[in-house]
């Protein structure tokens, strides 16, 4: 029998008396990251696609998709966060404001001499690590990247091509994060991780603010008319937390409903929401899922607080939700664009399609107000970052798609 979605409509006591800090996600903070990103060679806003035929078929008023497969030639959004956090670290080290350090100044001989060599270190399932390695190369600095067991050789090779020292280690993602922190302490590296913990919150916050560029672009492309619903995927919850923090800071009680999609095997945010506790609870184990970018079992505390207090719903998604989304976007209805969306990128489209078409989830659809008046934004966070795996799924049917009946 097919594994079903698990979900929680968020009506907790935290939503009635929210305490999560919104100030870091106001426009005046996020635009600092956008201004820096604009100075990086190759920067351009990624496309926002309108999918009118899919919207009609699913029964929503409008459907838009932000396609991050075009970001800096890296096929994923992750470089936005790592690049900004690395730039902010350099600016702070030099006791300068980030506005004084556009990319061309940051790579100048004068600045590099003052830095005297920096090694940035991170743990990744692929996209974040490649973004850190790419930015370190742009800045003419060094990068060390560790990947958890089960990581794709193709994603490792992509990181190595960026000039980083990188390897796959025999531990899950969260244990690899701890190992990276220990190695950085030993060798004087700078950890660039979007997982926040006590005593390590500044860089994760900068990473989240860096992701804000994606949403600033999206709202501009929507002519500043916000959607009614935003579907976001979550690993540790940094990206999802940024989206939630930004729209809540900008629109208050009129903010779009943010719906969080996680991989079933690594659904730490969903499990935390179900627990009803203020603090996030971890999910352990090997965390093996087709959604490699979401295979994280311990939440970013900053992101969790925002999602706990303001999000509309949490969905724990079997792998077949993601594969359904990949096939829908890769085989569009006549008149809609063809979109290559990877495993972690497509889970939001898969989830929306199931909620709108399956009779099993009609009550959830109704509670969330997903109907012919809804203007929905989904974000494809990655393209085919592992092309062979993408073809195995979309061409050859390696994994089944979620069936609505």
Tell me which residues are annotated as active site. 78, 125
Q: Are 283 and 266 in contact (CB under 8 A)?
A: yes
Q: Which of 65, 74, 63, 35 is nearest to 47 (CA)?
A: 65
How far is it between the farthest Cα atoms of the chain?
Answer: 63
How far apart are the C-alpha atoms of 177 and 148, rounded to whole Å? Answer: 9
Q: Which of 171, 227, 212 is nearest to 51 (CA)?
A: 227
Which residue blocks in 139-201 are alpha helix, DSSP H?
Answer: 153-161, 173-187
How far apart are the C-alpha atoms of 260 and 303, rounded to whole Å? Answer: 12
How far apart are the C-alpha atoms of 61 and 45, rounded to whole Å? Answer: 25
Strand order in the sheet with 165-168: 165-168, 142-147, 119-123, 190-191
CA distances from 57 to 61, 64, 230, 369 (A): 10, 14, 19, 17
Q: Are 112 and 138 in contact (CB under 8 A)?
A: no
Checking DSSP bridges between strand 257-263 and strand 313-317, what pairing results, if any?
Answer: parallel
Which residue blocks in 201-346 are alpha helix, DSSP H?
Answer: 202-221, 238-251, 268-275, 301-310, 319-330
CA contacts within 13 A on the Cβ side of 51? 29
Checking DSSP bridges between strand 313-317 and strand 6-9, what pairing results, if any?
Answer: antiparallel
How far apart are the C-alpha atoms of 350 and 402, rounded to whole Å? Answer: 8
Residue 126 C-alpha from the chain's centroid: 12
* Beta strands per DSSP E along 68-153: 119-123, 142-147
């Amino acid at each position: 029998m097919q594994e079903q979605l698990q979900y929680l409509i968020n009506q907790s006591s935290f939503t009635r008396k929210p305490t999560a800090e919104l100030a870091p996600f106001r426009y005046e903070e996020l635009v600092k990251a956008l201004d820096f990103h604009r100075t990086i060679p190759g920067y351009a806003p990624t496309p926002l696609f309108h999918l009118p035929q899919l919207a009609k078929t699913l029964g929503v008023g409008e459907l838009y998709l932000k396609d991050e497969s075009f970001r800096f030639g890296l096929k994923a959004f992750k470089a936005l966060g790592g690049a900004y956090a690395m730039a902010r670290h350099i600016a702070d080290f030099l006791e300068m404001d980030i506005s004084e350090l556009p990319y061309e100044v940051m790579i100048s001989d004068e600045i590099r001499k003052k830095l005297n060599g920096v090694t940035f270190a991170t743990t990744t399932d692929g996209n974040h690590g490649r973004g850190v390695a790419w930015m370190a190369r742009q800045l003419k600095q060094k990068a060390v990247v560790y990947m958890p067991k089960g990581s794709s050789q193709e994603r490792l090779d992509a990181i190595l091509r960026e000039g980083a020292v990188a390897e796959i280690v025999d531990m899950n993602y969260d244990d690899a994060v701890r190992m990276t922190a220990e190695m950085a302490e030993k060798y004087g590296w700078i950890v660039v991780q979007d997982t926040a913990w006590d005593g390590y919150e500044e860089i994760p916050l900068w990473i989240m603010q860096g992701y804000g560029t994606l949403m600033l672009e999206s709202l501009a492309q929507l002519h500043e008319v916000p959607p009614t619903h935003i579907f976001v995927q979550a690993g540790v919850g940094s990206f999802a937390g940024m989206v939630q923090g930004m729209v809540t800071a900008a629109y208050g009680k009129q903010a779009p409903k943010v719906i969080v999609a996680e991989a079933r095997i690594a659904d730490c945010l969903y499990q935390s929401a179900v627990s009803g506790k203020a603090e996030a609870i971890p999910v352990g184990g090997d965390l093996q899922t087709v959604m490699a970018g979401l295979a994280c079992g311990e939440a970013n505390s900053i992101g969790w607080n925002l999602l706990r207090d303001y999000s509309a719903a949490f969905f724990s998604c079997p792998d077949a939700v993601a594969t359904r989304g990949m096939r829908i976007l890769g085989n569009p209805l006549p008149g809609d664009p063809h979109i290559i969306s990877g495993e972690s990128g497509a889970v939001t489209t898969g989830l929306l399609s199931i909620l709108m078409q399956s009779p099993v989830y009609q009550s959830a659809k109704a509670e969330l107000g997903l109907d012919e008046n809804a203007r929905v934004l989904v974000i494809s966070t990655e393209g085919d970052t592992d092309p062979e795996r993408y073809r195995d799924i979309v061409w050859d049917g390696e994994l089944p798609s979620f069936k609505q009946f």
